[in-house]
Amino acid sequence: MKTLRVMIVAVGGQGNILAAKLLGEAGLSRGLDVRMSEFHGMAQRGGVVESMVLLGDGKGYCIANGEADFLVGFEPCETLRAAGKCSPKTIVITNTAPVPPFTVSLGGSPYPDVQGALTALAPRVGKLVSFDATALAQEAGSAVSVNIVMMGALVAHLAPHLQKEDFLNAIREKTKPALIDVNLRAFEAGVFAVDQTTARTGGFK
Q: State in Å, rounded, how far the first CA of the chain is from the last one.
A: 25
| Closer residue to another protein, CB minimum distance, 80 or 158 | 80
Measured in whole angstroms, the distance separating CA 168 from the mean position of its chain's CA atoms is: 16
158-187 residues in contact with another protein (CB under 8 A) are none
Residue 173: CB minimum distance to ligand SF4, A: 30
Contacting ligand SF4 (CB under 6 A), which of 45, 105, 116, 123? 45
Residue 110: CB minimum distance to another protein, A: 7
Rg (CA), the chain: 16
Check residue 86 for interaction with another protein (CB under 8 A).
yes
| Closer residue to another protein, CB minimum distance, 1 or 64 | 64
Check residue 199 for interaction with another protein (CB under 8 A).
no
| Closer residue to ligand SF4, CB minimum distance, 44 or 201 | 44
Check residue 59 for interaction with ligand SF4 (CB under 6 A).
no
Q: For residue 150, which amino acid is it?
A: M
Contacting another protein (CB under 8 A), which of 4, 19, 36, 154? 36
Measured in whole angstroms, the distance separating CA 178 from the mean position of its chain's CA atoms is: 23
| Closer residue to ligand SF4, CB minimum distance, 45 or 59 | 45
The C-alpha atoms of residue 33 and residue 56 are separated, in whole angstroms, by 5
Check residue 133 for interaction with another protein (CB under 8 A).
no
- Contacts with ligand SF4 by CB under 6 A lie at 44-45
